[in-house]
Structure 1
Amino acid sequence: MSAPRFHVTYRITPDDPRPIEAHAKDICIEETVEIPEDCVPKGHWEAGIVGRIESITPRGGSPGDYDVNISYRTDIANDAIPNLLNVLFGNISIRRGIKIVDIQLTPDQLKAFGGPRFGIAGIRRDLKVHGRPLATTAIKPLGLHARELARLCGGYSLGGLDVIKDDHGLIDQHFHPFEERVARIQEAINAANARTGRVTHYYPMIAGRFDQVEAQMAFARAQGCYGVLIPPLLIGPDTGFHLARKYGLAVMTHPTFTGTHFHDPRHGMTPAMLLGRLFRIFGADISVFPNAGGRFTFTGQECHDLAAAMRGELGGLKPGFPSPAGGMTIEKVGAMVDSYGEDTALLIGGALLKYSPDPEVSARAFLTALEAAAAGKARP
C-alpha cells in the first residue's frame, strides 16, 4: 500500500534555459533526498520518497511561468510544524523564482495539526458578540509606563471594544516589564468589564528567549488573559502554537518578519498560504495582516484570498477571523465591512489615539461606525 501524500503547487519562473521539467525535478529532489539525481537509490523512486511531479501547467498571460504541483509523502513531514515547513520550502527558499501558491494537506495531517482551538464561533460565544465584525485595537505606543497603557486599555474596554492586543513591539522592556504590564492591563479590563457588563478580551504579546516564552504564557493564563499574540516567525511557529494550546489560550498571530515571502511576486509564499492557511492549520484563531490601502503593500486580491483561507472549508478545521490592519481609520470602517463581511476582526491602532485623547471616546466612535456599517445604516 502506497503512503499517503500531500500536495504543494509551486509557481516557477525558470532562471535558466533548461526545460520546466528539470526545474520541477530539482524541487522534488532538493526538498527530500538532496543528492544528485543519479545517486538516488532506485527503491527511493519506487517508494515515493522523492517528491513526485503531479502536473505542470503553463500560466496563461504570464509567459515563462508555470504552476507545478508536487506531492510528498506525509511521513516525511511526520505531523511536525518544523518538518512540514522544511519540506514545503526548505532549501528551495534560497533559490529564486519559486513561489508557493497552494498547499493541500491530507485529512489526517489537518487533524494532527488541529487548527484553531476556539475559532470564530468560540470567540463570538465568549465575547457574546454576534452579527457584526469584532472591534479590535493594538496598544500603542512603545515606551509608555504600564500604568498609562492600562489607562488606555481601561478606556478602550469602557468604550466597547471587543479585543485589545499588545502592539508587537511591546515585549519585556525595562520601562514596562511583561508581568507588570500584563497584570495592570488585565486588571483595568476586568474593572471595565465589571462596570459595563460587556466582555473585552486581552491578548498580550509573547516574545523573548526560549526560557521566557513559556513563563509568559503561564503568567498570561494566571492573570486571566483570554489569548495571546504570537509572532510565529520570531519565536518559532511550533513553540508559540504548542504553548498556547498547552495553556488553553486563544491565538492571534502577527505577521512581523514574514515580509520577505511577499515582496517579490515570483518568490516566497502568497499571504493566503502563509498568514492564512498555514497559520490557521497550526492554530491561529485570529490572523492579523496588512490591509490593502494602508501603509503596507498587499493588494486587495491578496487580502481577500487570505480572508478566504482563514474562513473557508478546510477538512473540518474551525474557521478563524482574518484581521485586516495597518493604517486603518474609523473613516474606513464602512468600506472594510463591505469588503470583508461580518466574520472579521477589524483592527484600528494608532488612528484611535489620533481621533481623541480619551480612549473611551475613540472606542465608542469605532464601535458606533462598526455597528452602523454592519446594520447598513448611514455611516459617519
Structure 2
Amino acid sequence: MIRATYIVETPCPIAEVAAMMAGEQSAGTFVRVEGESDALRARFGAKVIATEEIGRSESPSLRSAWAERRGLTGPRGIYRVVIGYPEENVGVNLPVLASVVAGNLFDLGEVTGLKLTDIQLTPEYRDRYDLPRVGIAGTRASASVRGRPLFGTIIKPNIGLSPQEIADLVARLCEAGADFVKDDEIAGTHPHAPVDARIRAVMDPVRRHRDRTGKLVMVAFNITDDTDAMRRHADLLAAEEGTCAMVSLNWAGLSAVQSLRRHTPLAIHGHRNGFGGMGRHPLLGLGVRAYQALYRLAGIDHMHVHGMGGKFSDLDEDVTEAARHCLAPMGAGEDRVMPVFSSGQWAGTLPHTLAQVGSDDLMFLSGGGIMAHPSGPAAGLASLRQAHEAATLDVPLPEFARTRRELAEALAKFGAKG
C-alpha cells in the first residue's frame, strides 16, 4: 500500500472530506457511476487510514468559490489525514504515482488548504523504481573523500564567464583542494558559454589535476534541457571523463530525470530550485519529505536541502528534516542520497549542521565562505576542514581558531558562530 499523509484545512466534516479525497484519487468520483461495483471499489478504492485534528483556523487560508457559494467562510478545522492507495492502481509509473497521491486534490472545493507532507512505500515497492547509480559511497569514492563531508563551491560569477575563464577558475579550485565544484542553476547552454564547450574546456584541467595528484575533482555541469539534449550532454560528459551531471529537478520534471537516470551512469546532482513555490506555504503544495520521495524514486544521487542559518527562508528544523530524509533508506536496497548544503554556508555554520544531521555523509558547498575568504579559496577550504576537525573534537571554533590561521580569518570575516 502507498501511504500518503496530508495536512487539510476544511469547513466540512473531515470524515466526509477524507472519504471524498480517497474516492477522487482512486476508484470513485463525486457521484457513483455505472460499473462502480462493490467488488471494484474493494479492490481498487483508496482507504482512509487516519484523521486527526491538529488545529483551527478562523478564516480560510485559500479561497474556494465552492465554499463561498455555500457561505462556508467561518472557522474551520486543520487535520492530518492519512490515505492508503493500492499499489495495483499505479504499477510502476512515477508520474502516475505523483498524480495519484497529489493530482487534483489541491483544487478541491471542500478544502481551503491542502499539503501533501509525506509518501511512504513498502521497501519492496520502492525497489521497483530507479535507484541511485552512484549514491553516497560512489560519490565518496569518486572524489576520494573519507571520514568527512565533501567540501566544494559554486562557480561565481554564475553567468557571463567564457568557457576558458570557467576552466581557469576550476583549475584554481582544484589546486586549492576542492572536492566538488558545480555550475549555478541558471547556467544553461548560453550562447557565450554553451554547455558542451564548458564541458570540454573544464574537464581538461580537471583531468590534468587528476593525472598529477591522483584526485579527480567532481564537477557538476548543469545539463538541464529537454530530455534528448540532456542525454547528449551526459554522453559528452562521460566521454570527457566527467562524473556528475546537475539537473534542475522541477523544471526538467520527474519523467525526464528518470529517463536521464536510465541513460547514464553519471552521478545526478538534483537541484531543487523552485521548491519554495511548492513547499513554502504551510497549507499548500508539497512538504519536503513527499517531494524528496518522488525524486528519489527517479534515481538521483544528490539532493539540495539549502543550509542552516543561510540566506533562504528555511528554518533549521526544515533543513534537518530534509537532510535526514535523504540519509534514511526508503527501500531494501541502498537508495540513500547525499544531502547537499548551500546558501550562505561557511566554516561557522558547519558544526551546527553536523550536530543536527548526525552524519558526515553530506556535501557542504560554500560560495562566499571559500571564494571570499581573506586569504583566498585554498584558505577558505582549509577553514572548512579545520571547522570539521573542531566539531569532531567537540572544541568551540574560537578556541580551535587560536592555532588555525585560516579558521581565525574566517571567523573574523564572516562573524564567529562557534
Cα distance in structure 2, aligned partners of 1:139 and 1:42: 59
Alignment CA distance shift 1:365-1:193 (3 Å): farther
CA contact (8 A) 1:110 1:317 kept: no
CA contact (8 A) 1:158 1:193 kept: no
Quote how far apart the aligned CAs of 1:29 are.
2.4
CA contact (8 A) 1:261 1:268 kept: yes
Aligned to 1:76: 89
Quote how far apart the aligned CAs of 1:6 are.
1.3
Q: Secondary structure at the match of 1:136?
A: strand
**Pair 1:287-2:303 in alignment:** yes
Quote how far apart the aligned CAs of 1:47 are.
3.5
Q: Secondary structure at the match of 1:308?
A: helix
Alignment CA distance shift 1:370-1:160 (3 Å): farther
For residue 271 of structure 2, the aligned residue among 251, 254, 263 is 254
Q: Secondary structure at the match of 2:119?
A: strand
CA contact (8 A) 1:217 1:244 kept: no
Alignment CA distance shift 1:258-1:156 (3 Å): same
**Pair 1:344-2:362 in alignment:** yes
**Pair 1:214-2:231 in alignment:** yes
Structure with the greater relative contact order (CA < 8 A, sep ≥ 6): 1 or 2?
1
Aligned to 2:13: 19
For residue 5 of structure 2, the aligned residue among 6, 9, 12 is 9
Cα distance in structure 2, aligned partners of 1:73 and 1:371: 48
CA contact (8 A) 2:154 2:182 kept: yes
For residue 49 of structure 1, the aligned residue among 44, 47, 58 is 44
Larger Rg belongs to: 2
Quote how far apart the aligned CAs of 1:116 are.
1.9
Map 1:1-380; keep pairs closer than 5 Å: 5-14=1-10, 16=11, 18-33=12-27, 35-39=29-33, 41-43=36-38, 45-59=40-54, 64-95=77-108, 96-140=112-156, 141-275=158-292, 277-318=293-334, 319-340=336-357, 341-355=359-373, 358-376=376-394, 378-379=400-401, 380=407
Q: Secondary structure at the match of 2:190?
A: coil
Quote how far apart the aligned CAs of 1:208 are.
1.9
Moved over 6 A (4+): 60-63
Which of 292-301 and 164-173 deviates more? 292-301
Alignment CA distance shift 1:54-1:135 (3 Å): same
Cα deviation, 1:219-243, whole Å, max 9, x if unaligned, reads 1111111121112211122212332
Quote how far apart the aligned CAs of 1:320 are.
1.6
In structure 2, stretches of 5+ residues that fail to align are: 58-75, 402-406, 408-418
Alignment CA distance shift 1:356-1:172 (3 Å): farther
What count of residue pairs does the alignment treat as equivalent?
A: 373
Cα deviation, 1:230-265, whole Å, max 9, x if unaligned, reads 122111222123323321111110011222221210
CA contact (8 A) 1:131 1:374 kept: no
Q: Secondary structure at the match of 1:339?
A: helix
Quote how far apart the aligned CAs of 1:24 are.
0.9
Which of 25-34 and 293-302 deviates more? 25-34
Q: Secondary structure at the match of 1:59?
A: strand
Cα distance in structure 1, aligned partners of 2:273 and 2:176: 28
Alignment CA distance shift 1:300-1:316 (3 Å): same
The aligned amino acid for 1:274 is: Y
Quote how far apart the aligned CAs of 1:288 are.
0.8
The aligned amino acid for 1:235 is: A
The aligned amino acid for 1:158 is: E
Quote how far apart the aligned CAs of 1:311 are.
0.8
Alignment CA distance shift 1:267-1:317 (3 Å): farther
Alignment CA distance shift 1:350-1:272 (3 Å): farther
CA contact (8 A) 1:7 1:103 kept: yes
Cα deviation, 1:68-126, whole Å, max 9, x if unaligned, reads 11111112222111111111111113354111222111233211113322222222223
Alignment CA distance shift 1:217-1:93 (3 Å): farther
Which of 229-238 and 335-344 deviates more? 335-344
CA contact (8 A) 1:133 1:374 kept: no
Instruction: Give the TM-score taking structure 1 as reference length.
Output: 0.90
Cα distance in structure 2, aligned partners of 1:44 and 1:156: 64
Quote how far apart the aligned CAs of 1:154 are.
1.3
Alignment CA distance shift 1:357-1:178 (3 Å): farther
CA contact (8 A) 1:138 1:348 kept: yes
The aligned amino acid for 2:275 is: T
Quote how far apart the aligned CAs of 1:21 are.
1.3
